[in-house]
Structures are given as structure tokens and as C-alpha cells.
Structure 1
Amino acid sequence: MRVEKQTAFRFAWLVAVVSLAAGCSTMDADECRVANWSGLGYADASKGKDVSMAGDRAQACSEHGYRMDMAAYQRGWNEGLKEFCTFPGGQAFGDRGGNYKPGYCPPGAESQFLASYLPAYKRYQYQQRIDGLQRDINRKNSEIIRLQSRKDGSDEGKISRLKGEVSALNNQLQSERMRQFMDR
């Protein structure tokens, strides 16, 4: 019970500090008026949102003349963490490229979360690099086609340079795909 009170105090203190620093409005007056604070806490934690979200919500509602129900939000937050800090939660967060901050999940659940998050996040990063290289290749190929459609032939040097860049990008793409394959 004493640990729960310490955790609640730390949470409330952190939200208060963050709410003073929060500058953007995350909720309008109507949302604040009808807010289900427990549901919002649950939703924020189960999506892996930073605890600063509570401060943002408190600040926004304060600006509209409403007070956040901190106890309800924290109850919801704690339930949301139970869902988020699981093996499936880690995989889903990694798959969508979420940036996990160590210590977000409670110590007992963090290792289970990380066991699925780390490989999923690594796959996400590989895919982002591969997609970026493919976009660069496509952009340069489009430029080559555009330049080749000119009839005067004045862009042969630029076309040659672009073809060299495409070749280098294709090599990088193949290397990245090979690293991805080998890292499975």
C-alpha cells in the first residue's frame, strides 16, 4: 500500500510539473466537460503515450475552466499499462515504430515487453531504410526519364551521373535487404 501511495504521489507530481510546461491544447472545452478521465488514462497508457500527455490534458482543460480527475486518470493509466506492457503490446508498438523509453513499463513487465518490442522495432527500422532507398531510386529514375525525353541531348552528363547514383542506391538497397535477412 505504501508503494502505491509513493507511486501515486510521483505520478501526480510529474503531471503537475509537466502541465506547467505544456503549451499546446490537446482537448477542447466540450471534451474536458464530458471527459472520462479513467478511459483517457487507459487509452494514453495502452498506446504507449508519454506521461506528459496527462499534463497536456490537465493544462488544456484548466485553460477551459475544468479540472482533471487525476485519481481517475491514474487508475486508467495503470490499467492501460497492464495491456501495453505485454508481449503482444511490445510487438504492436515496435511494428508501428514507437520509440520506447526504458522504465515506461514496470520492472516486472518490461523484460516481457522488450522481448517482442526490440525485434519488431528493428524490423520497422529496416523497412523504413529500405522504403527510403526505394523512394530515392524511384525519384532518380523519374528524373532520368524526364531528362531522356528531351530531344537535345544536352543532359547526357547529368543522366550518366544519375544512373551512377541509382546503381549505388540499388547496391545499398540490396545490402540493406541482406542485413535484414541475416538479422532474423
Structure 2
Amino acid sequence: MKLYIALLSFSLLTGCASLSESACKEGQWEEIGLADGHKGEKVDVIHSHINSCSEYGISLDTKLYRRGYDKGLRFFCNPDKAFDLGYSGQEYNNVCTNKKFNTEYQLGFEIHNISKEIERISVEIERLKVDLEGANSNGFASNKQTLRKEIKILKYKRSQLKNKLVLLTVKSGRKLENLVDYF
């Protein structure tokens, strides 16, 4: 619990990438590194911290920072969290060397992207159906044929993506409740 509170407080203090004057003065470099590693930040974020603190005439202890950063990365790079990170569509900075982490992340991210593409195609199909109804009422025969063909092509693409989604979901070994909407 103490670790969580420390990480939360440093996340609030550090903001995006640079440090406030008070964070620099406190000099809790290991905890700052821990928070950055815990969020999966690139190690290069240290340069931003160094620049921020140098504005206040304060030096950052890179050894302590790195010790904390490495501890934080061990938490972040847990393969059990990787799939969920990718599935939620979050980018990550390729900071994990664990092959299983990267494999799980890529699988989750691919499922996320396919799900989004299925949604996009479904919206496009509905838009084309509305256009087709308009073409039917206006009697534009050539336009109707083109619209029907586009709808058919998109439905086929969506079907292919759904099949791929099923295979990837099985491969992941997870039950993904919100995928029910696609079938």
C-alpha cells in the first residue's frame, strides 16, 4: 500500500515528463525513477527531469533514479499485464525485454485494432445502407448497383475480420466479454 501511495504522489508531482521545483528539491530520485518505470516511460525521460531540475540549480542522482526505474520496469513488464495493455489500445514504449511480454502485448493490441476496424466497417455499411435507401427513392439504378456492391465487399471484409478475431481470441486463451457485440 505504501508503494502505491508513493507512486501516486510522485505521479501527481511529476506530471507529464518534467519535475516541479519541489520534486527536485525533495530529491527522492529512486521513487521518481520507480514511478517512471512503473508507468513504462522510456528511460530517456530522465533527460527531461535533469533539464527541469537544472533550472532550479539541482542535480539529479542518476544512479538512484536508475535503481528505482529498473524496479518500476519489473512491475510494468509483467507479462500478465501485457495483454490487457495492448487490448486497451495503449501504446507502450518498447521498454520491456521480456519476449513473453511483447508477444502478449502484440496479441492484445492486434485484437484491439481488429475490433476497431470491425466497428469502422460496420458504421460505413450503415452509412451506405442509408445512401442506398436514398438512391432507391430517387431511382438512380447505377448508383444503387454500386452501393450494393460496396456493401457486399465491406460485409465480406467484416466477416474475414470477425473470423480472425475469433482465432486470435482463442489463441489468447481469454474470454473477452465485449467481443459478443461483433457476432
TM-score band by shorter chain is: 0.5 to 0.7
2:36 is the counterpart of 1:44:
yes
| Residues 25 and 58, structure 2, Cα contact 8 Å, conserved in 1 | yes
Matching residue's letter, 1:152: N
| Runs of 5+ consecutive residues of structure 1 not aligned to the other structure | 1-24
Query: How far apart, CA to CA, are the structure 2 residues paired with 1:182 and 1:29?
Result: 47
Find the counterpart in structure 1 of residue 79 from structure 2. Answer: 90
Find the counterpart in structure 2 of residue 75 from structure 1. Answer: 67
Identity of aligned pairs, percent?
A: 18
Find the counterpart in structure 1 of residue 119 from structure 2. Answer: 134
Matching residue's letter, 1:73: Y
Corresponding pairs, count? 149
SS at match of 1:49: coil
Query: How far apart, CA to CA, are the structure 2 residues paired with 1:146 and 1:34?
Result: 63
Superposition misfits of 4+ residues, deviation over 6 angstroms: none
Please state how far the C-alpha of 1:41 moved relative to its aligned partner: 0.4
| Residues 121 and 158, structure 2, Cα contact 8 Å, conserved in 1 | no
Which digits, 9 at most, give the CA deviation of each residue in 1:12-35, with x for residues without a partner?
Answer: xxxxxxxxxxxxx83264454556
For residues 164-183 of structure 1, the aligned pairs below 5 Å read 164-181=152-169, 183=171
Please state how far the C-alpha of 1:147 moved relative to its aligned partner: 4.7
| C-alpha distance 37-143 of structure 1, shift in aligned 2 (>3 A) | farther
Q: CA RMSD in A?
A: 3.1
| Runs of 5+ consecutive residues of structure 2 not aligned to the other structure | 1-15, 173-183
Of 41, 54, 57 in structure 1, the residue corresponding to residue 46 of structure 2 is: 54
| Residues 130 and 176, structure 1, Cα contact 8 Å, conserved in 2 | no
Find the counterpart in structure 1 of residue 180 from structure 2. Answer: none
Matching residue's letter, 2:117: G
TM-score, structure 2 normalization? 0.62
Of 15, 18, 39 in structure 2, the residue corresponding to residue 27 of structure 1 is: 18
TM-score, structure 1 normalization? 0.62
| C-alpha distance 167-82 of structure 1, shift in aligned 2 (>3 A) | closer
SS at match of 2:122: helix
Please state how far the C-alpha of 1:42 moved relative to its aligned partner: 0.3
